């Protein structure tokens, strides 16, 4: 319980909250003193939603803590440092480095837009931060000027408030009609809830650069409906001030995420501008999927929330892009769906927080090899199954998760997933196209070619609990998973039950495929121990993390 003393409150017996320095949709930010280490810190006190049930509130709190702990693993000069995550009087707090200086939004409001040189510098720093986060399977989801800090005296650019959609429990437009995020900076594919990935953060950066250069987002309108229409349908007109950086801005504001300019190429163009005073065209040979944007499955066409659409254009053949007419029709369906959902009762929540990392292995250090590969010793080992980095959320009622999932009580799967009622007695949402395979006491759902492996195991509980089980599995990692490295076990909770998250990388099944990463969550519930994990190649951790979160969030024993 926090204590009061001489105009200051002390939380977790350590952090003295001294002055409020900011407020947003997710809560209040305080300047505080870490009394143990004698240093100044910033503490984010997360707001509690009084409309949530006790289970929903616990689910949101557990997920917040899990995501914050994951972001705390990121290390980059332009990403906020998370020192600690604590709970005081059932309210979560995130302890971060204190950046003296305002946000980019404050700077623009106070001094006006920046010039192209300064915008390029800011863009390069943010691209470095995003690439580091994306490589770790972490998305930002709310990149905007208010979430970019400018350190006084050094002008260091610091990206903060990761994972708003993940922490708030929604992608963008939820099934209740609420919009979570900042619509002027939200990519069109996220507007529909059909897809989100590194590409979506890059769209947001394009809108941010326009704002930094001109003082306003190119998608600013008088209403939420107007903003949605501008993002999805209207002609995109970058401001005149963006002319020096136009190839970058236009490339980032490409509506098709598969054609959008990637982080590596965008940084190359911005550096060329700083070196030469002009921005070259993007490389014609460049495609975002070659280096820094994880390849993602095609997003399904978003259904209208209230009324079926009868005039959508037929899909283009898989081997060629859709025509302009069909693309325009698809955008019309998308914006109609977004608008209907928004008008169903949406308020706009501009909030902020933190997010996550990615894994491999196979659900225990004893992952089985793909069918196409010869059997190996690890297919028959029985060491404890690793714990996936699942969301530590309470028993769900009706909540929309980070990947657009409605929690199990509503028995719905997000777009692109199906609800699997497994013969073993549990249910969970798995990606469409994944096929089931039983391997002894483990059940797998496998993608084509077994690139992604989602595993589930249920056993009798161990006397010393999930964390001890996962630590033993971690200790055996080098013998059960050749090339094992970067193993990490974190004690946590899931649905209010004791849990442990195990995350690690290893050498993979074959040299051709290369290294893999695993997220694994293990927890005890109602006299059973459950283990859910997802394994994937290290280059696909963003997708793996999404599959993992959905699986854990929708799992019902």
504 pLDDT exceeds 60?
A: yes
Predicted TM-score (pTM) of this structure: 0.55
382 DSSP 8-state letter = -
97 DSSP 8-state letter = E
**What is the rounded average pLDDT for all residues in the chain?**
75
CATH entry, 3-97, from 3.30.365.10, 3.30.200.20, 3.40.190.10, 1.10.287.990: 3.30.200.20
Spatial separation of the C-alpha atoms in residues 330 and 198, rounded to whole Å: 22
294-306 tens-digit pLDDT: 333 333 444 444 4
What is the three-class DSSP state of 219?
coil
Cα 83 from chain centroid? 20
Tell me, what's the pLDDT at 24? 63
Which of 139-143, 163-167, 456-460 is predicted most confidently?
456-460
What is the three-class DSSP state of 440?
coil
467-499 tens-digit pLDDT: 999 999 999 999 888 899 989 998 888 888 899
Is the Cβ–Cβ distance between 393 and 425 less than 8 Å?
Answer: no
Domain with CATH 3.40.1000.10 in the chain: 377-554
223 pLDDT exceeds 60?
A: yes
Tell me, what's the pLDDT at 28? 87
pLDDT, greater one: 112 or 347: 112
Spatial separation of the C-alpha atoms in residues 404 and 176, rounded to whole Å: 12
Is the Cβ–Cβ distance between 547 and 356 less than 8 Å?
Answer: no
> Which of these is catalytic: 55, 88, 125, 142?
142
Spatial separation of the C-alpha atoms in residues 94 and 497, rounded to whole Å: 22
317 DSSP 8-state letter = P
- The stretch 381-404 carries a mean pLDDT of 34
CATH 1.10.510.10 fits 104-309+323-349, yes or no: yes
pLDDT, greater one: 542 or 469: 469
pLDDT, greater one: 241 or 313: 241
Q: 377-554: what fold?
A: Protein Transport Mog1p; Chain A (3.40.1000)
Percent of the chain surpassing pLDDT 90? 45
Dihedrals phi, psi of 553, to nearest 5 degrees: -65, -30
383 DSSP 8-state letter = P
340 pLDDT exceeds 70?
A: no
Spatial separation of the C-alpha atoms in residues 455 and 439, rounded to whole Å: 10
pLDDT, greater one: 548 or 322: 548
Strands, E assignment, 172-305? 179-180
Edge-first strand order for the sheet with 91-97 is 3-5, 8-11, 15-24, 27-34, 39-46, 91-97, 82-88
Spatial separation of the C-alpha atoms in residues 383 and 473, rounded to whole Å: 6
158 pLDDT exceeds 90?
A: yes
Active site residue 142: yes
- The stretch 7-28 carries a mean pLDDT of 84
Domain with CATH 3.30.200.20 in the chain: 3-97
Domain with CATH 1.10.510.10 in the chain: 104-309+323-349
Tell me, what's the pLDDT at 541? 82
Tell me, what's the pLDDT at 56? 76
Element (DSSP H or E) covering residue 431: strand 427-431
Spatial separation of the C-alpha atoms in residues 521 and 489, rounded to whole Å: 10
Spatial separation of the C-alpha atoms in residues 224 and 342, rounded to whole Å: 8
302-325 tens-digit pLDDT: 444 443 333 333 333 333 333 344
Spatial separation of the C-alpha atoms in residues 383 and 392, rounded to whole Å: 24
């Amino acid at each position: 319980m926090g204590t009061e003393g001489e105009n200051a409150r002390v939380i977790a017996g350590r952090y003295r909250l001294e002055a409020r320095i900011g407020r947003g949709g997710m809560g209040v930010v305080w300047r505080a003193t870490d009394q143990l280490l004698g240093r100044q810190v910033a503490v984010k006190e997360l707001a509690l939603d009084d409309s949530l049930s006790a289970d929903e509130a616990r689910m949101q709190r557990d997920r917040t803590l899990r995501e914050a702990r994951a972001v705390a693993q990121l290390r980059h000069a332009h990403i906020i440092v998370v020192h600690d995550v604590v709970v005081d009087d059932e309210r979560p707090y995130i302890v971060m480095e204190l950046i003296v200086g305002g946000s980019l939004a404050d700077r623009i409001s106070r001094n006006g837009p920046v010039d192209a040189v300064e915008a390029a510098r800011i863009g390069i720093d943010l691209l470095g931060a995003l690439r580091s986060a994306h490589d770790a399977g972490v998305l930002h989801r709310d990149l905007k000027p208010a979430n970019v800090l400018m350190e006084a005296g050094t002008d260091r650019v610091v990206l903060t408030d990761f994972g708003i959609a993940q922490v708030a429990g929604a992608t963008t437009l939820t099934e209740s009609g609420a919009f979570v995020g900042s619509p002027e900076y939200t990519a069109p594919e996220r507007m529909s809830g059909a897809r989100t990935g590194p590409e979506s953060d890059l769209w947001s950066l394009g809108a941010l650069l326009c704002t930094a250069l001109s003082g306003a987002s190119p998608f600013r309108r008088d209403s939420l409906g107007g903003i949605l229409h501008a993002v999805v349908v209207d002609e995109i007109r970058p401001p005149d001030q963006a002319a020096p950086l136009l190839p970058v801005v236009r490339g980032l504001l490409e509506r098709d995420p598969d054609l959008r300019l990637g982080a590596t190429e965008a940084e190359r163009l911005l550096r060329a501008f700083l070196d030469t005073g002009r921005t070259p065209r993007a490389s014609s040979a460049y495609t975002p999927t070659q280096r820094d944007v994880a390849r993602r499955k095609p997003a399904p066409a978003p259904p209208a929330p209230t009324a079926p659409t009868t005039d959508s254009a037929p899909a283009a053949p898989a081997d060629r892009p859709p025509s302009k007419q069909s693309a325009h029709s698809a955008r019309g369906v998308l914006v109609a769906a977004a608008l209907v959902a928004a008008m169903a009762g949406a308020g706009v929540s501009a909030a902020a927080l933190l997010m996550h990392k990615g894994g491999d292995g196979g659900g225990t250090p004893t992952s089985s090899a793909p069918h196409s590969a010869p059997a190996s010793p690890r297919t028959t080992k029985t060491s404890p199954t690793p714990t996936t980095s699942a969301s530590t959320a309470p028993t769900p009622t009706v909540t929309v998760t980070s990947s657009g999932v409605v929690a199990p009580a509503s028995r719905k799967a997000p777009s692109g997933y199906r609800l699997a009622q497994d013969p073993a007695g549990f249910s969970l949402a798995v990606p469409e196209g994944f096929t089931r395979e039983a391997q002894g006491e483990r059940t797998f759902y496998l993608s084509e070619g077994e690139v992604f492996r989602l595993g589930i195991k249920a056993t009798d509980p161990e006397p010393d609990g999930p964390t001890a089980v996962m630590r033993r599995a971690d200790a055996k990692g080098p013998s059960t998973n050749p090339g094992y490295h970067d193993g990490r076990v974190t004690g946590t909770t899931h649905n209010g039950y004791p849990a442990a998250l195990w995350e690690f990388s290893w050498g993979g099944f074959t040299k051709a495929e290369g290294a893999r990463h695993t997220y694994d969550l293990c927890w005890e519930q109602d006299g059973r121990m459950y283990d859910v994990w997802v394994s994937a190649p290290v280059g696909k951790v963003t997708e793996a993390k999404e599959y993992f979160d959905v699986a854990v969030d929708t799992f019902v024993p």
